[in-house]
């Protein structure tokens, strides 16, 4: 490790646990803010459909990168099944920002629900309808799950623009 990175690691080591948690949460918020601002600029330039298409292309690659890094960091083995996916979902950047839950159905599947989503909450505060994230969500969640274990199949239970209950914004079924 070079001197610059060693110095940065020492600076991080000097932070308190609360400061480190705040740093992680700020990083996740900054990541999501950039994603949203990029999307709004793309939508303004090319329209909603083209912006969603471009967003899907970016998520197709990012979700694999994120899953592989989480697998390495948290020692999740390839083909770790639903338990590995459950663990990885809990470490995603979104997990630091949104309220999510996993509802066990049986040993071969579970449903993941986004109970509170910062993206949808921001739109509602501005008086806008739900963001139609289903096309990108299909790419994102299926790619993430498939990276954890290529046997996992992903099904959208509901995701905007679909109707959804007030208790959650979207729900995804993962099955082996």
Q: How far apart are the first and last CA of the chain?
A: 40
pLDDT under 50 in the chain at which residues?
Answer: none
pLDDT of amino acid 163: 93
Q: Are 150 and 170 in contact (CB under 8 A)?
A: no
Q: φ and ψ at 105, to 5 degrees?
A: -105, -45
Residue that is written with structure tokens 């690691």 in the block: 9
pLDDT tens for 147-167 read 999 999 999 999 999 999 999
Q: Are 174 and 81 in contact (CB under 8 A)?
A: no
Per-domain residue ranges of the chain: 3-175
DSSP element (H, E) containing 123: helix 118-125
Nearest to 169 by CA among 117, 131, 125: 117
pLDDT of amino acid 104: 76
pLDDT of amino acid 105: 81
Q: Which residues contact 136 (CB under 8 A, 6 or more apart)?
A: 52, 55, 56, 59
Q: What percent of the chain has pLDDT over 90?
A: 94
pLDDT of amino acid 4: 95
């Amino acid at each position: 490790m070079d001197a610059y990175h060693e110095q940065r690691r020492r600076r991080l080591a000097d932070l308190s646990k609360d400061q480190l948690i705040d740093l992680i949460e700020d990083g996740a918020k900054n990541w999501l803010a950039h994603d949203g601002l990029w999307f709004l600029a793309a939508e303004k330039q090319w329209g909603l459909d083209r912006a969603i298409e471009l967003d899907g292309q970016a998520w197709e690659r990012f979700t694999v990168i994120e899953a592989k890094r989480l697998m390495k960091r948290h020692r999740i083995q390839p083909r770790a099944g639903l338990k590995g996916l459950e663990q990885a979902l809990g470490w995603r950047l979104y997990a630091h920002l949104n309220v999510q839950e996993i509802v066990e159905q049986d040993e071969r599947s579970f449903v993941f629900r986004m109970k509170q989503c910062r993206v949808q909450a921001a739109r509602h505060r501005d008086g806008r309808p739900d963001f139609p994230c289903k096309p990108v969500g299909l790419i994102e969640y299926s790619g993430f799950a498939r990276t954890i274990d290529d046997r996992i199949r992903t099904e959208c239970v509901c995701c905007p623009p679909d109707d959804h209950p007030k208790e959650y914004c979207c729900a995804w079924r993962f099955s082996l």
